Structures are given as structure tokens and as C-alpha cells.
């Protein structure tokens, strides 16, 4: 896949209307609707400011949460949850939509940019079209939640064209959504010249270089619960990495494949042959393939469970919950001399304090490695930030699913649609 895409710096936007896809899918307080972290809004500001300074009229758009776009679909979902169809009201549905309005995002954007942000009460309806038509250079309009329209996730050409008709240029700056072929992430590029925003450009240049031309040795650290989630990632990285480190729940399927007893630990029995195949492939390619040599185990999956250190076979009444001290040392040594390190997925049950030590140690090892360090979104990114190592990491990806598919070597629809340099 070509990661070298034209950016906003290559676009002539003066006096033009720019449709800007942002990632304003922010966490909110369930009771009050207050935004609990504006990190994603702040991340979009450099591109917004650049476009406004260049004399563009900016029409920003984003999704928020998973609203159900039609009343019929809402009824169906409630019935699946056990509610009687006749008890589901249109008022309930409209209330569920109101909880996911982008109005609080417009308010926060106004505060951060110290300017009036115009808010449209729909996406391609009368209000949005009128406000987009009246928008002047240097002004910013935010459309209502894209997923209130059923055409968004279906990449409906009519919806994509209606979005595109409001603008003359398209800019993609929502890396967390580029793995999805939705109307606002890919479809609009059929009707408008499409450029990457500064956030997407940073992701593509840093992660693209790490995969295509890494500073060596290149070490990949993979964790998380399931082998099945990382099959394509491991397969792709075996072609590129010098060392692959496997931790987290997925490590136990590999240990079982090696002939070890794993007790009550997570096991994907249908992936054992795959695990054997990957270990053999690593050996054949001369790639170091490191697995835990000791584990912190527990009798039950609980935050209060007492950690028991086990080397070798895990007794049948215990389950692996985190990597042990010898493994921390082994993995730490492996990243010490690295040129590039990519990390995706925690080393243990990070949400339980007693079993967070392995993930903490890995975050510290990356921060102190001196290597180019890239942390995929999701739990590993949260761990690095929570532990205070974020400023010592070269790049923390803003997209969980997107960064995973990037590591798999998949073509990302929201990137493929952008103009090549």
C-alpha cells in the first residue's frame, strides 16, 4: 500500500469550502453528557487552524458512539435485548439519539479555538446545507453526528455525494476510522479531491516507515487476549521484524503449542496448529520468537486473587494472569538494543493492579530503550499514558482498529482513496 499521500500542504484551499473528517468520538459522562477527555478534539486543532489560516471555510464532521439510525432498527435492537416491541416508543429512540449529539463537541471546539463554531442540527438536511452555503472563509461549521444518517456506515453513494456537494475539497484527519469504508471516510473521495490532514499524515509517515524501512533491530511486542485478533499481524510482522515478543492471554495458546501445560489459562484450541506454524516460520526465517518463561497465576479471574509465581507448566487449578519477573527481564533485554519497537496489546490483565506489573515494565522498557517507539491504540496506549511514559514514546497511535489493520499490512479504504504524492 502506498503511504505517501498528498496532505493539506499540497491543497489549494483559499476561499474554498473544505469537508474535514475528524475523530470527535470522545468519551462522555453517561449521566451528564459532559466530555471527560477532549484529547481527540485537541488532536484535530492543528489541521483545523491551518485550514482556517489558509482562508478555507471548514465543514467539520465526525461520528460519536453507535447511534441506531432508524426507528425500526432501534425497535429490533430493543427486542433482541428482551423488550416487547409494543413497549418501545419513538420517544425512547429520539432520547437515545440526543445522548449522542455533537453539540457538546461544538461547544468545546469554540472554547479551544476561541471562536464561534457554527453547529448544524443535521448532516445533509436543510439546516446543514443552508449553513454550509452561507459559510465564509475563516469560519468553522460542525455537522451533527454522521451516524444519525443510515447512509454513513453503508457508504451509500447518495449520502456521500450529498456530503461532498457542500464542499470543494475533502480532508481526512480521523486516523481511527480509516480502516472503515464509510461514506465520510472513503465515499466522498469519489466526488472531491482528497488530501490527508496533519494527524493522518503523521500516522502514515511514522508507522509506514516503521513497517517499510525500520531502523534495525526491529522488535514487535504483541499482547492482548486472543491469538485470533493478531493472526494477520503476526504473519505480516514475521516478514519484517528481527524479534517478536508475545505476551498477554494469547501467549498461552503458543505455550500449549510448545507442549506446556497451561492450567485454566486462556486457550484457543482451534489456533494451536497456527501457533505451531508461526513458531516454525519464525525459526525458518531466523526471527527470534520470545514467549513467557514464568507467569503470575491465580486460582480465579479476580482483582482480589492472590498472585502465584509459576515457572514452566501451570497447574490445572491455576490460570496465567501476567508475565513473571524472569520474563520481564527477558523481554526487557530484547528491547534494549532495538532500533524500532512496535507495541500492541498488554502483557497481562492490566486492569487488575496485582497483574499490571508486566505491562508497566514493558512501558518502562520502551520509554528507556532509546529506540523509535510506536504504541498501537487501545490498551497499550492507555497503559503508557496512565503510567506517565507518553512523553518518552516516539508515537502513540490515535486509532486502535486502524493501527492493528495497518500492522496487518491491509489496505485501509480511508487511506487508499487519498491522492498519491
Query: Which is more confidently placed, 93 or 382?
Result: 93
- Whole-number Å distance between alpha carbons of 19 and 145: 14
Contact (CB, 8 A) for 290 and 331: yes
pLDDT of residue 140: 98
Contact (CB, 8 A) for 347 and 290: no
Q: Using 50, 70 and 90 to split pLDDT, how confident is the model at 336?
A: very high
Q: Give pLDDT tens digits for 205-247.
A: 988 888 888 999 999 999 988 888 888 899 999 999 999 999 9
- Whole-number Å distance between alpha carbons of 402 and 340: 20
- Whole-number Å distance between alpha carbons of 57 and 134: 10
Residue 217: is the preceding peptide bond cis (ω within 30°)?
A: yes
Average pLDDT on 284-308 reads 97
Q: Using 50, 70 and 90 to split pLDDT, how confident is the model at 383?
A: confident
Average pLDDT, the chain: 94
Residues of the chain with CATH 3.40.50.1260: 8-65+100-202, 214-408
pLDDT of residue 401: 74
Task: Indicate the burial class of 212 (C-beta count within 10 angstroms; 0-12, 13-18, 19 or more).
Answer: exposed
Average pLDDT on 243-257 reads 97
Q: Give pLDDT tens digits for 139-178.
A: 999 999 999 999 999 999 999 999 999 999 999 999 989 9
Q: Using 50, 70 and 90 to split pLDDT, how confident is the model at 377?
A: low
> Which is it for strands 243-246 and 288-290: parallel, antiparallel or unpaired?
parallel
- Whole-number Å distance between alpha carbons of 342 and 321: 22
Closest CA to 290 of 326, 334, 230: 334
Active site residues: 40, 226, 378, 401
Among the ranges given (67-71, 153-157, 188-192, 261-265), the one the predictor scored with the smallest mean pLDDT: 67-71
Give the number of C-alpha atoms closer than 13 A to the C-alpha of residue 366, restricted to the C-beta side.
36
Please list the residues that pair with 298 across neighbouring strands.
Answer: 319
Q: In the CATH hierarchy, which top-level class contains the domain 8-65+100-202?
A: alpha beta
Give the number of C-alpha atoms closer than 13 A to the C-alpha of residue 338, restricted to the C-beta side.
31
Q: In the CATH hierarchy, which top-level class contains the domain 214-408?
A: alpha beta
Length of the chain: 421
- Whole-number Å distance between alpha carbons of 412 and 203: 13
**What sign for the dihedral angle of Cα 286, 288, 293, 296?**
negative
Q: Using 50, 70 and 90 to split pLDDT, how confident is the model at 28?
A: very high
Q: pTM for the full model? A: 0.86
Please list the residues that pair with 17 across neighbouring strands.
Answer: 57
**What sign for the dihedral angle of Cα 17, 21, 27, 28?**
positive
Residue 39: is the preceding peptide bond cis (ω within 30°)?
A: no
Amino acid at each position: 500500500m502506498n503511504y505517501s499521500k498528498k496532505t493539506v500542504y499540497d491543497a489549494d484551499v483559499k476561499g474554498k469550502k473544505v469537508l474535514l473528517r475528524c475523530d470527535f468520538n470522545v468519551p462522555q459522562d453517561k449521566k451528564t453528557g459532559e466530555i471527560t477527555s477532549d484529547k481527540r478534539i485537541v488532536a484535530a486543532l492543528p489541521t483545523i487552524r491551518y485550514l482556517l489560516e489558509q482562508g478555507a471555510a471548514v465543514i467539520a464532521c465526525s461520528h460519536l458512539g453507535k447511534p441506531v439510525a432508524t426507528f425500526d432498527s432501534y425497535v429490533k435492537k430493543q427486542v433482541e435485548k428482551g423488550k416487547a416491541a409494543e413497549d418501545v416508543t419513538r420517544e425512547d429512540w429520539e432520547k437515545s439519539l440526543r445522548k449522542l449529539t455533537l453539540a457538546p463537541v461544538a461547544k468545546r471546539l469554540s472554547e479551544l479555538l476561541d471562536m464561534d463554531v457554527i453547529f448544524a442540527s443535521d448532516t445533509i438536511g436543510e439546516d446543514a446545507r443552508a449553513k454550509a452555503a452561507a459559510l465564509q472563509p475563516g469560519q468553522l461549521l460542525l455537522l451533527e453526528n454522521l451516524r444519525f444518517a443510515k447512509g454513513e456506515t453503508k457508504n451509500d453513494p447518495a449520502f456521500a455525494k450529498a456530503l461532498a456537494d457542500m464542499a470543494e475539497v475533502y480532508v481526512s484527519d480521523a486516523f481511527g476510522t480509516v480502516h472503515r469504508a464509510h461514506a465520510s471516510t472513503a465515499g466522498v473521495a469519489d466526488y472531491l479531491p482528497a488530501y490527508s490532514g496533519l494527524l493522518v499524515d503523521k500516522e502514515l509517515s511514522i508507522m509506514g516507515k516503521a513497517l517499510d524501512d525500520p531502523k534495525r533491530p526491529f522488535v514487535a511486542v504483541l499482547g492482548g487476549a486472543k491469538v485470533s485478533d493478531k493472526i494477520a499481524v503476526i504473519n505480516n510482522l514475521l516478514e519484517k521484524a528481527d524479534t517478536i515478543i508475545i505476551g498477554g492471554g494469547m501467549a498461552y495458546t503458543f505455550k500449549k503449542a510448545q507442549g506446556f501445560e497451561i492450567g485454566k489459562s486462556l486457550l484457543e484450541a482451534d489456533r494451536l496448529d497456527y501457533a505451531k506454524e508461526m513458531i516454525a516460520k519464525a525459526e525458518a526465517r531466523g526471527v527470534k520468537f520470545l514467549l513467557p518463561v514464568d507467569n503470575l497465576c491465580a486460582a480465579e479471574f479476580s482483582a482480589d486473587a492472590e498472585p502465584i509465581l509459576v515457572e514452566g507448566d501451570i497447574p490445572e487449578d491455576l490460570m496465567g494472569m501476567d508475565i513473571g519477573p524472569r520474563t520481564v527481564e527477558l523481554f526487557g533485554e530484547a528491547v534494549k538494543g532495538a532500533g524500532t519497537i512496535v507495541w500492541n496489546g498488554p502483557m497481562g490483565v492490566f486492569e487488575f493492579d496485582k497483574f499490571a506489573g508486566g505491562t508497566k515494565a514493558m512501558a518502562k522498557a520502551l520509554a528507556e530503550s532509546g529506540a523509535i517507539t510506536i504504541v498501537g491504540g487501545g490498551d497499550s496506549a492507555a497503559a503508557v499514558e496512565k503510567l506517565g511514559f507518553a512523553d518518552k514514546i516516539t508515537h502513540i497511535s490515535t486509532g486502535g482498529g486502524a493501527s492493528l489493520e495497518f500492522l496487518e499490512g491491509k489496505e485501509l479504504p480511508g487511506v487508499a482513496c487519498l491522492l498519491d504524492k
